[in-house]
Amino acid sequence: MSNVDPLSSELSFSRNLMTSFIQISAVAILVGYCLMVVGPFIGIVLWGIVLSVAIYPLHVKLAGLLGGNEKIAATIITVIGLLVLLVPGWLIADSAISTVVQLASKISSGTLVIPPPNESVAGWPLIGEQLYSAWSAGSTNLQSFMAEYQSQVRQIGEWLLGSAGSLLIGLLNFTASFIIAGVCLLYARSGYKASNAIFDRVAPSRGQHITDLAVATIRSVTNGVLGVAAIQAGLAGLGFVVAGVPAAGVFTVVILVSAIVQVPAILIIVPLIVWVFSFAEPLTASIFAVYSVLVALSDNVLKPILLGRGVDLPVLVVLLGAIGGMIKFGVIGLFLGAVILGLGYQIISDWIWPNKSGPEMTDDA
Q: Output phi, psi for 198, to 5 deg.
A: -65, -45
pLDDT at 167: 64
Q: What is the pTM of this model?
A: 0.64
Residue 80 in domain:
yes
Contact 191, 218 (CB under 8 A): no
Cα distances (angstroms) measured from residue 185 to each of 57, 127, 199, 250: 10, 53, 21, 32
Residue 82 in domain:
yes
> What's the rounded mean pLDDT across residues 312-335?
75
Per the document, the length of the chain is 365
For residue 26, name the pLDDT band (cuts at 50, 70, 90): very high
Mean pLDDT of the chain: 77
Residue 166 in domain:
yes
Alpha-carbon distance 288 to 356, whole Å?
A: 51
pLDDT higher than 80, residue 129: no
Q: What is the 3-state secondary structure (H, E, C) of 169-189?
A: HHHHHHHHHHHHHHHHHHCHH
> What's the rounded mean pLDDT across residues 226-255?
81
Residue 244 in domain:
no
Q: Which residue has the higher pLDDT, 281 or 305?
A: 281
pLDDT at 120: 67
Which of 19-33, 103-117, 214-228, 236-250 has the highest average model confidence (pLDDT)? 19-33
Residue 208 in domain:
no
pLDDT higher than 60, residue 362: no
pLDDT higher than 60, residue 150: yes
Residue 285 in domain:
no
Contact 275, 248 (CB under 8 A): no
Low-confidence winner among 26-35, 113-122, 255-264, 349-358 (lowest mean pLDDT): 349-358
For 39-93, what is each residue's pLDDT tens digit? 888 888 888 888 888 889 889 999 888 888 888 989 999 898 888 777 766 766 6
pLDDT at 163: 65
Residue 177 in domain:
yes
How many domains does the chain fold into?
Answer: 1
pLDDT higher than 60, residue 165: yes
For 288-300, what is each residue's pLDDT tens digit? 889 988 988 888 7
Alpha-carbon distance 138 to 150, whole Å?
A: 12
End-to-end CA distance of the chain: 61
Alpha-carbon distance 263 to 267, whole Å?
A: 8
Alpha-carbon distance 121 to 277, whole Å?
A: 7
Contact 324, 337 (CB under 8 A): yes
Alpha-carbon distance 106 to 90, whole Å?
A: 24
- Separation of CA 235 from chain center: 20
The contacts of residue 270 (CB under 8 Å, 6+ apart) are: none
Domain region containing 104: 42-186
CA-based nearest residue to 172, from 258, 43, 281, 59: 43
pLDDT at 248: 75
pLDDT higher than 50, residue 334: yes
CA-only gyration radius of the chain, Å: 28
For residue 317, name the pLDDT band (cuts at 50, 70, 90): confident
Percent of residues, the chain, with pLDDT higher than 70: 73
Residue 312 in domain:
no
